[in-house]
Chains A and B, each alone.
Chain A
Amino acid sequence: MTASRQSKPVRILAIVLRLALGGIFVYAAWIKLRDPWQLFAMAIDSYGILPLKYVELTAKVLPWIELALGLWLIAGKWMRIPSLGISLLLTLFFTLIVRAYIRGEEINCGCFGPGEAISWKTMLRDGSMLAGSYILTWLSFRRARPQPAALEPTPEFQYEQPRP
């Protein structure tokens, strides 16, 4: 089944998810790029997963990746790449947030700029985004998958039209 043959609700769902996730990623990137990079670096460092020398690099590069993926998603071209990229990033973020929450670490999420401590609300929000990104990725790959040839009507199996 091609993109044009997807049902209308599915197409609307894909558009909503694409614009919502793309918008959220652009907003998250803008918040980080607007502030000094050290604020995001402090948030990354508080998770305790990267050596300091990589924290700085990540703090400077990651917001640009978020911006690119967000804009790409909004543009809606070659959807497999940005939807998969966002799914992978959200899987990483969500895993780190849940890990910090379970360990009782009182740290800053770093999701949308400084000053947001990790809570169940953070997990609910990021979990919803993650679910949305998985659905979008699945739809993107499903849309691009070619229909098996056996299901397409071929000339040999077409019924002959009755002659008037």
Chain B
Amino acid sequence: MKLFALVLLALMPLLAVAFDVDAAKTVGNAGAPVTIELYSDFQCPNCKMLHDQIIPQLLQEYVGTGKVYLVAHEFPLSMHAHSREAANYATAAAQVGKYQAVADALFRDQAAWSVTGKVWDTVATALTPAEQKKVQTLVKDPAVLAEVQKDVDMANANRIMQTPTMIVKAGNKSYPIGGTVAYSILKSFLDDRLKAK
């Protein structure tokens, strides 16, 4: 019994990493054969490239068809001055069902707020006045801040070294993919994983 308790205690962090997902930051069918966990930083240029060029195709061809379940995680790098603030706002916006809209706005205006630091000005463009009020309150909520920190901790636990990083999970295997990727190679990779299921 004591041994069982010790094993359970040792496995707790792993269980947390495996199942702790904010539903508001997910797209697609949770029962899809392939899950992609995407760790990104709103101030990172490669993340913008992935968000603008690869993710839309992925959503259309794999997520929309129930083949892939996409989960977004925050990984604001310390080298980017405003990315933590952006991640906090996006996570707060997720609580009012506006994660995707805010993420789109942040990547769209990345060049501007990265320089000026006026993150909120960009976030506000994706929200109604009522939502803006809620998000302004939520962004100070310790639970929201803790959620962002939990994502960072998960990234570190997964030994993620760069953004963007996709962790593709198919069956009991897990494949980290760092940086931007050519869609044709990613497609070939996903098709092989789906065939193998």
Residues of A within 8 A of B (CB): 35-36, 38-39, 41-42, 45-46, 52, 55-56, 106-108, 114-117, 119
Contacts and interface: CB of A to CB of B under 8 A. Distances in A.
A116 B160 CA distance: 8
A35 B175 contact: yes
Q: Is the interface of B mostly helix, strand, loop or mixed?
A: mixed
Contacts of B188: 38
A45 B159 CA distance: 22
B176 A114 contact: yes
A46 B185 contact: no
Nearest to A107: B179
B184 A52 contact: yes
B114 interface: no
A115 B185 contact: no
B42 to A, nearest CB: 15
Interface string B153-197: 000000111110100000000011111111011101100110000
A35 B177 CA distance: 12
A145 B184 CA distance: 50
A112 to B, nearest CB: 13
Contacts of B46: 106
A26 to B, nearest CB: 22
